[in-house]
Homo-oligomer: A and B are copies of this chain.
Amino acid sequence: MGTLTVDLGERSYPIIIGRGLLSQAGSHLKKCGIRTGSPHLIITDSNTAPLYLEKLQSALESEGFQIVTAIVPAGEQSKSLAVYEEMMTRAITGGLDRKSAVIALGGGVVGDLAGFVSATYMRGTYFVQVPTTILAHDSSVGGKVAVNHPLAKNMIGAFHQPVLVLYDVDTLQTLPDREVSAGLSEMVKHGLIWDESFAHWCRDHAAELLALQPEALEYGLEKGCAVKAEVVSRDERENDLRAILNLGHTIGHAIEAIAGYGEFLHGEAIAIGMVGSAKLGVRLGADPSLETETVSMLKALRLPTVLPGHLSTDDIMSAMSHDKKFTEGQMNFVVPKAIGSVEFVRGISSDMVRDIVDELKKGEA
Protein backbone atom coordinates (compact mmCIF):
# COMPACT_ATOMS: atom_id res chain seq x y z
CA MET A 1 0.00 0.00 0.00
CA GLY A 2 1.34 3.43 -0.92
CA THR A 3 0.22 6.87 0.09
CA LEU A 4 0.81 10.08 -1.83
CA THR A 5 -0.24 13.56 -0.84
CA VAL A 6 -1.70 16.26 -3.02
CA ASP A 7 -0.18 19.31 -1.44
CA LEU A 8 -2.66 22.17 -1.41
CA GLY A 9 -2.28 23.75 2.02
CA GLU A 10 -5.39 23.25 4.09
CA ARG A 11 -7.00 21.44 1.16
CA SER A 12 -4.26 18.78 0.98
CA TYR A 13 -5.41 15.18 0.77
CA PRO A 14 -4.04 11.65 0.59
CA ILE A 15 -4.16 9.25 -2.34
CA ILE A 16 -4.05 5.73 -0.95
CA ILE A 17 -3.26 3.01 -3.48
CA GLY A 18 -3.31 -0.69 -2.67
CA ARG A 19 -5.17 -3.98 -2.55
CA GLY A 20 -8.19 -4.80 -0.42
CA LEU A 21 -8.87 -1.15 0.39
CA LEU A 22 -12.64 -1.24 -0.17
CA SER A 23 -13.14 -3.32 2.94
CA GLN A 24 -11.08 -0.86 5.00
CA ALA A 25 -12.92 2.20 3.70
CA GLY A 26 -14.57 3.05 7.02
CA SER A 27 -11.38 3.70 8.92
CA HIS A 28 -9.89 5.69 6.04
CA LEU A 29 -12.93 7.96 5.90
CA LYS A 30 -12.77 8.51 9.64
CA LYS A 31 -9.11 9.50 9.41
CA CYS A 32 -10.13 12.18 6.91
CA GLY A 33 -12.57 13.73 9.35
CA ILE A 34 -15.79 12.31 7.95
CA ARG A 35 -18.21 11.61 10.76
CA THR A 36 -20.96 9.09 11.34
CA GLY A 37 -23.52 11.68 12.47
CA SER A 38 -24.62 12.63 8.94
CA PRO A 39 -25.79 10.39 6.08
CA HIS A 40 -23.38 9.97 3.16
CA LEU A 41 -24.20 9.35 -0.50
CA ILE A 42 -22.41 6.82 -2.69
CA ILE A 43 -22.88 7.53 -6.39
CA THR A 44 -21.93 4.70 -8.70
CA ASP A 45 -22.92 3.36 -12.12
CA SER A 46 -24.82 0.37 -13.44
CA ASN A 47 -21.65 -1.60 -14.28
CA THR A 48 -19.80 -0.88 -11.08
CA ALA A 49 -22.71 -1.26 -8.65
CA PRO A 50 -23.20 -5.03 -9.03
CA LEU A 51 -19.45 -5.58 -8.66
CA TYR A 52 -18.44 -3.36 -5.75
CA LEU A 53 -21.28 -1.37 -4.22
CA GLU A 54 -22.29 -3.90 -1.60
CA LYS A 55 -18.71 -4.37 -0.53
CA LEU A 56 -18.08 -0.65 -0.06
CA GLN A 57 -21.46 0.03 1.49
CA SER A 58 -21.22 -2.77 4.06
CA ALA A 59 -17.63 -1.83 4.91
CA LEU A 60 -18.84 1.68 5.70
CA GLU A 61 -21.99 0.60 7.52
CA SER A 62 -20.04 -1.81 9.68
CA GLU A 63 -18.05 1.21 10.90
CA GLY A 64 -21.26 3.01 11.82
CA PHE A 65 -21.71 5.15 8.72
CA GLN A 66 -25.24 5.76 7.44
CA ILE A 67 -25.21 5.33 3.67
CA VAL A 68 -27.63 6.25 0.90
CA THR A 69 -26.90 5.20 -2.67
CA ALA A 70 -27.61 6.25 -6.23
CA ILE A 71 -26.88 4.18 -9.33
CA VAL A 72 -26.66 6.03 -12.64
CA PRO A 73 -26.56 4.42 -16.09
CA ALA A 74 -23.00 3.55 -17.12
CA GLY A 75 -21.57 5.86 -19.75
CA GLU A 76 -20.77 9.46 -20.58
CA GLN A 77 -24.50 10.27 -20.95
CA SER A 78 -24.76 10.32 -17.17
CA LYS A 79 -22.57 13.42 -17.04
CA SER A 80 -25.65 15.53 -17.79
CA LEU A 81 -27.59 18.22 -15.96
CA ALA A 82 -30.61 15.89 -15.93
CA VAL A 83 -28.77 13.18 -13.98
CA TYR A 84 -27.16 15.88 -11.84
CA GLU A 85 -30.61 17.09 -10.83
CA GLU A 86 -31.65 13.53 -9.93
CA MET A 87 -28.58 13.24 -7.71
CA MET A 88 -29.55 16.49 -5.98
CA THR A 89 -33.01 15.09 -5.33
CA ARG A 90 -31.46 11.92 -3.91
CA ALA A 91 -29.20 13.96 -1.68
CA ILE A 92 -32.14 15.94 -0.32
CA THR A 93 -34.45 12.96 0.19
CA GLY A 94 -31.54 11.09 1.76
CA GLY A 95 -31.17 13.88 4.29
CA LEU A 96 -27.62 14.91 3.42
CA ASP A 97 -26.34 17.99 5.21
CA ARG A 98 -23.22 20.09 5.06
CA LYS A 99 -21.19 17.52 7.03
CA SER A 100 -22.12 14.76 4.59
CA ALA A 101 -19.79 13.23 2.05
CA VAL A 102 -20.53 12.39 -1.55
CA ILE A 103 -18.56 9.27 -2.44
CA ALA A 104 -17.79 8.43 -6.09
CA LEU A 105 -17.44 4.69 -6.70
CA GLY A 106 -16.48 4.16 -10.33
CA GLY A 107 -14.55 5.63 -13.22
CA GLY A 108 -14.15 9.18 -14.43
CA VAL A 109 -17.80 9.58 -15.35
CA VAL A 110 -19.03 8.87 -11.85
CA GLY A 111 -16.13 10.85 -10.37
CA ASP A 112 -16.84 13.97 -12.41
CA LEU A 113 -20.61 13.80 -11.81
CA ALA A 114 -20.41 13.03 -8.09
CA GLY A 115 -17.74 15.66 -7.67
CA PHE A 116 -19.96 18.35 -9.17
CA VAL A 117 -22.84 17.22 -6.96
CA SER A 118 -20.52 17.44 -3.96
CA ALA A 119 -19.22 20.85 -5.03
CA THR A 120 -22.68 22.38 -5.23
CA TYR A 121 -25.02 20.53 -2.85
CA MET A 122 -25.64 23.09 -0.11
CA ARG A 123 -22.65 24.99 -1.57
CA GLY A 124 -20.25 22.12 -0.94
CA THR A 125 -19.87 18.87 0.99
CA TYR A 126 -17.00 16.47 1.62
CA PHE A 127 -15.99 14.52 -1.47
CA VAL A 128 -14.35 11.10 -1.60
CA GLN A 129 -13.06 9.41 -4.74
CA VAL A 130 -13.05 5.62 -4.89
CA PRO A 131 -11.78 5.09 -8.45
CA THR A 132 -12.33 1.74 -10.14
CA THR A 133 -10.81 2.37 -13.58
CA ILE A 134 -7.22 2.94 -14.62
CA LEU A 135 -8.18 6.16 -16.34
CA ALA A 136 -9.49 7.43 -13.03
CA HIS A 137 -5.92 7.65 -11.66
CA ASP A 138 -6.01 10.81 -13.72
CA SER A 139 -9.57 12.01 -13.22
CA SER A 140 -9.80 11.32 -9.47
CA VAL A 141 -6.84 13.54 -8.63
CA GLY A 142 -6.89 17.30 -8.98
CA GLY A 143 -10.39 18.44 -8.24
CA LYS A 144 -11.70 19.15 -11.72
CA VAL A 145 -15.34 18.11 -11.66
CA ALA A 146 -17.97 18.70 -14.32
CA VAL A 147 -20.97 17.62 -16.31
CA ASN A 148 -21.45 18.10 -20.05
CA HIS A 149 -23.63 20.59 -21.89
CA PRO A 150 -25.25 19.26 -25.08
CA LEU A 151 -23.08 21.76 -26.97
CA ALA A 152 -19.76 21.03 -25.25
CA LYS A 153 -18.09 18.59 -22.89
CA ASN A 154 -17.19 19.49 -19.29
CA MET A 155 -18.63 22.97 -19.75
CA ILE A 156 -20.41 23.08 -16.40
CA GLY A 157 -18.26 22.38 -13.40
CA ALA A 158 -16.07 23.47 -10.57
CA PHE A 159 -12.75 22.97 -8.85
CA HIS A 160 -13.60 20.84 -5.85
CA GLN A 161 -10.87 18.75 -4.26
CA PRO A 162 -11.68 15.42 -2.63
CA VAL A 163 -10.65 14.85 0.98
CA LEU A 164 -9.49 11.34 0.08
CA VAL A 165 -8.72 9.21 -2.98
CA LEU A 166 -9.01 5.54 -2.03
CA TYR A 167 -7.72 3.42 -4.89
CA ASP A 168 -8.31 -0.30 -4.50
CA VAL A 169 -6.41 -1.88 -7.39
CA ASP A 170 -8.27 -5.15 -6.86
CA THR A 171 -11.31 -3.53 -8.46
CA LEU A 172 -9.42 -3.15 -11.73
CA GLN A 173 -9.43 -6.90 -12.38
CA THR A 174 -12.93 -6.73 -13.85
CA LEU A 175 -12.16 -3.96 -16.36
CA PRO A 176 -12.79 -4.75 -20.04
CA ASP A 177 -9.59 -4.87 -22.14
CA ARG A 178 -10.37 -1.73 -24.08
CA GLU A 179 -10.87 0.22 -20.85
CA VAL A 180 -7.54 -1.07 -19.59
CA SER A 181 -5.68 0.24 -22.62
CA ALA A 182 -7.59 3.51 -22.61
CA GLY A 183 -6.62 4.07 -18.98
CA LEU A 184 -2.98 3.28 -19.68
CA SER A 185 -3.05 6.04 -22.29
CA GLU A 186 -3.33 8.67 -19.53
CA MET A 187 -0.70 6.79 -17.53
CA VAL A 188 1.87 7.00 -20.31
CA LYS A 189 0.82 10.63 -20.84
CA HIS A 190 2.04 11.34 -17.31
CA GLY A 191 5.38 9.85 -18.29
CA LEU A 192 5.52 11.77 -21.56
CA ILE A 193 4.97 15.16 -19.96
CA TRP A 194 7.11 14.78 -16.84
CA ASP A 195 9.20 11.66 -16.39
CA GLU A 196 11.14 10.03 -19.20
CA SER A 197 12.08 6.92 -17.24
CA PHE A 198 8.46 6.32 -16.22
CA ALA A 199 7.37 6.59 -19.86
CA HIS A 200 9.92 3.94 -20.75
CA TRP A 201 8.87 1.82 -17.77
CA CYS A 202 5.28 1.86 -19.10
CA ARG A 203 6.44 0.50 -22.43
CA ASP A 204 8.76 -2.06 -20.88
CA HIS A 205 6.02 -3.34 -18.56
CA ALA A 206 3.19 -3.14 -21.05
CA ALA A 207 2.54 -6.88 -20.88
CA GLU A 208 2.20 -6.91 -17.09
CA LEU A 209 0.04 -3.80 -17.16
CA LEU A 210 -2.26 -5.20 -19.83
CA ALA A 211 -2.50 -8.43 -17.84
CA LEU A 212 -3.50 -6.38 -14.75
CA GLN A 213 -0.61 -7.77 -12.75
CA PRO A 214 -1.16 -6.13 -9.32
CA GLU A 215 2.44 -5.07 -8.54
CA ALA A 216 2.85 -3.44 -11.94
CA LEU A 217 -0.53 -1.74 -11.62
CA GLU A 218 0.24 -0.42 -8.16
CA TYR A 219 3.59 0.95 -9.26
CA GLY A 220 2.23 2.50 -12.46
CA LEU A 221 -0.77 4.08 -10.77
CA GLU A 222 1.39 5.45 -8.01
CA LYS A 223 3.80 7.02 -10.48
CA GLY A 224 0.97 8.35 -12.66
CA CYS A 225 -0.87 9.82 -9.69
CA ALA A 226 2.37 11.30 -8.39
CA VAL A 227 2.90 13.27 -11.60
CA LYS A 228 -0.68 14.49 -11.59
CA ALA A 229 -0.47 15.40 -7.88
CA GLU A 230 2.77 17.31 -8.40
CA VAL A 231 1.43 19.34 -11.33
CA VAL A 232 -1.85 20.10 -9.53
CA SER A 233 -0.03 21.10 -6.34
CA ARG A 234 1.91 23.67 -8.30
CA ASP A 235 -1.04 25.05 -10.28
CA GLU A 236 -4.41 24.03 -8.91
CA ARG A 237 -6.54 26.34 -11.05
CA GLU A 238 -4.78 25.89 -14.38
CA ASN A 239 -3.24 29.31 -14.61
CA ASP A 240 -0.31 27.92 -16.57
CA LEU A 241 1.59 24.71 -15.71
CA ARG A 242 -1.49 22.54 -15.32
CA ALA A 243 -2.21 22.95 -19.03
CA ILE A 244 0.54 20.41 -19.79
CA LEU A 245 -1.85 17.70 -18.58
CA ASN A 246 -3.73 18.37 -21.81
CA LEU A 247 -1.04 16.78 -23.97
CA GLY A 248 -2.85 15.19 -26.89
CA HIS A 249 -6.21 16.49 -25.74
CA THR A 250 -6.84 19.26 -28.28
CA ILE A 251 -6.80 16.86 -31.19
CA GLY A 252 -8.18 14.07 -28.98
CA HIS A 253 -11.27 16.04 -27.95
CA ALA A 254 -11.93 16.98 -31.56
CA ILE A 255 -11.76 13.31 -32.55
CA GLU A 256 -14.15 12.35 -29.75
CA ALA A 257 -16.56 15.11 -30.72
CA ILE A 258 -16.81 14.37 -34.42
CA ALA A 259 -16.62 10.58 -34.25
CA GLY A 260 -19.65 10.70 -31.98
CA TYR A 261 -18.87 9.96 -28.36
CA GLY A 262 -18.55 6.20 -28.14
CA GLU A 263 -16.58 5.24 -31.27
CA PHE A 264 -13.43 6.17 -29.39
CA LEU A 265 -12.83 5.88 -25.71
CA HIS A 266 -11.28 9.04 -24.29
CA GLY A 267 -7.91 7.36 -23.80
CA GLU A 268 -7.93 6.06 -27.36
CA ALA A 269 -8.68 9.46 -28.84
CA ILE A 270 -5.92 11.13 -26.87
CA ALA A 271 -3.47 8.40 -27.90
CA ILE A 272 -3.97 9.53 -31.49
CA GLY A 273 -3.80 13.11 -30.25
CA MET A 274 -0.45 12.43 -28.56
CA VAL A 275 0.93 11.08 -31.82
CA GLY A 276 -0.21 14.35 -33.40
CA SER A 277 1.55 16.32 -30.64
CA ALA A 278 4.74 14.33 -31.21
CA LYS A 279 4.55 15.13 -34.93
CA LEU A 280 4.17 18.80 -34.02
CA GLY A 281 7.15 18.54 -31.70
CA VAL A 282 9.27 17.13 -34.49
CA ARG A 283 8.18 19.89 -36.88
CA LEU A 284 9.12 22.44 -34.25
CA GLY A 285 12.61 20.98 -33.92
CA ALA A 286 12.55 17.87 -31.71
CA ASP A 287 14.46 14.76 -32.69
CA PRO A 288 12.40 12.52 -35.06
CA SER A 289 12.83 9.62 -32.61
CA LEU A 290 10.31 11.46 -30.41
CA GLU A 291 7.55 10.45 -32.79
CA THR A 292 8.65 6.85 -33.36
CA GLU A 293 9.16 6.29 -29.65
CA THR A 294 5.77 7.76 -28.79
CA VAL A 295 4.11 5.53 -31.35
CA SER A 296 5.91 2.43 -30.10
CA MET A 297 4.89 3.10 -26.49
CA LEU A 298 1.25 3.53 -27.42
CA LYS A 299 1.26 0.44 -29.62
CA ALA A 300 2.78 -1.60 -26.82
CA LEU A 301 -0.26 -0.61 -24.74
CA ARG A 302 -2.59 -1.63 -27.62
CA LEU A 303 -3.68 1.92 -28.31
CA PRO A 304 -4.59 3.34 -31.72
CA THR A 305 -2.02 5.65 -33.32
CA VAL A 306 -3.64 6.27 -36.70
CA LEU A 307 -6.70 8.37 -37.45
CA PRO A 308 -9.38 6.43 -39.38
CA GLY A 309 -9.73 7.81 -42.91
CA HIS A 310 -13.48 8.34 -42.71
CA LEU A 311 -13.05 11.21 -40.24
CA SER A 312 -12.87 14.42 -42.23
CA THR A 313 -9.96 16.77 -41.62
CA ASP A 314 -12.29 19.74 -42.08
CA ASP A 315 -14.60 18.47 -39.37
CA ILE A 316 -11.68 17.95 -37.00
CA MET A 317 -10.35 21.45 -37.69
CA SER A 318 -13.72 22.98 -37.11
CA ALA A 319 -14.25 21.00 -33.89
CA MET A 320 -10.91 22.36 -32.70
CA SER A 321 -11.97 25.90 -33.52
CA HIS A 322 -14.54 25.64 -30.72
CA ASP A 323 -11.69 24.87 -28.37
CA LYS A 324 -10.76 27.73 -26.07
CA LYS A 325 -7.13 27.42 -27.11
CA PHE A 326 -7.87 28.53 -30.68
CA THR A 327 -7.93 32.14 -31.88
CA GLU A 328 -7.95 33.60 -35.37
CA GLY A 329 -5.98 31.10 -37.40
CA GLN A 330 -3.56 30.54 -34.55
CA MET A 331 -3.61 27.69 -32.09
CA ASN A 332 -1.98 26.94 -28.76
CA PHE A 333 -0.66 23.45 -28.12
CA VAL A 334 1.17 21.44 -25.51
CA VAL A 335 4.15 20.24 -27.53
CA PRO A 336 6.74 17.64 -26.49
CA LYS A 337 10.39 18.59 -26.80
CA ALA A 338 11.57 15.10 -25.91
CA ILE A 339 10.11 12.12 -24.06
CA GLY A 340 9.38 13.39 -20.52
CA SER A 341 9.36 17.09 -21.30
CA VAL A 342 6.82 19.41 -22.91
CA GLU A 343 6.23 23.09 -23.46
CA PHE A 344 3.18 25.23 -24.12
CA VAL A 345 3.48 26.82 -27.56
CA ARG A 346 1.25 29.68 -28.70
CA GLY A 347 0.48 30.83 -32.18
CA ILE A 348 0.92 27.62 -34.16
CA SER A 349 -0.59 28.18 -37.60
CA SER A 350 -3.75 26.24 -38.29
CA ASP A 351 -2.26 25.23 -41.65
CA MET A 352 0.46 23.28 -39.88
CA VAL A 353 -2.12 21.66 -37.64
CA ARG A 354 -4.20 20.69 -40.69
CA ASP A 355 -1.16 19.04 -42.27
CA ILE A 356 -0.61 17.03 -39.14
CA VAL A 357 -4.21 15.87 -38.96
CA ASP A 358 -3.89 14.68 -42.56
CA GLU A 359 -0.65 12.91 -41.71
CA LEU A 360 -2.30 11.18 -38.77
CA LYS A 361 -4.46 9.30 -41.25
CA LYS A 362 -1.42 7.82 -42.96
CA GLY A 363 0.03 6.11 -39.94
CA GLU A 364 3.80 5.66 -39.64
CA ALA A 365 5.80 8.67 -40.84
Tally of contact residues, A, Cβ under 8 A: 26
How far, in whole Å, are A116 and B120 apart by their CA atoms in the complex?
9
Is the Cβ of B92 less than 8 Å from the Cβ of A149? yes
The residue among A120, A122, A146, A152 with the most chain B CB atoms within 10 A of its own CB is: A120
Copies in the complex: 2
Q: Which of A64-72, A154-162, A198-206, A215-223 faces chain B? A: A154-162
Please list 14 pairs of residues, one from A and one from B, whose beta carbons are closer than 8 Å in the complex, sorted by A's number: A85-B149, A88-B149, A89-B149, A92-B151, A92-B155, A119-B158, A120-B156, A120-B157, A120-B158, A122-B155, A123-B157, A123-B158, A124-B158, A158-B158
Residues of chain B within 8 A of A93, CB atoms compared: 151
Hey, which chain B residues are within 8 Å of A144, CB to CB? 123
Q: How far is the CA of A135 from the CA of B123 in the complex (A)?
A: 21
Query: 0/1 per residue, A134-148, Cβ < 8 Å to B?
Result: 000000000010100
In whole Å, how far is A91's beta carbon from the nearest beta carbon of chain B?
8
Residues in B whose Cβ lies below 8 Å from that of A119? 158
State how many angstroms separate the Cβ of A27 from the closest Cβ of chain B: 26
* Closest CB in chain B relative to A327 CB, distance in Å: 9
- Asked whether any CB of chain B lies closer than 8 Å to the CB of A97, the reply is yes
List A66-124 residues whose CB lies under 8 Å from chain B: 81, 85, 88-89, 92-93, 97-98, 116, 119-124
Instruction: List residues 195-232 of chain A with CB under 8 A from any CB of chain B.
Output: none
- A353 CB → nearest B CB, Å: 20
Asked whether, in the complex, the Cβ of A324 is within 8 Å of the Cβ of B97, the reply is: yes
The residue that A121 contacts in the complex, of B116, B123, B124, B156, with Cβ under 8 A, is B156
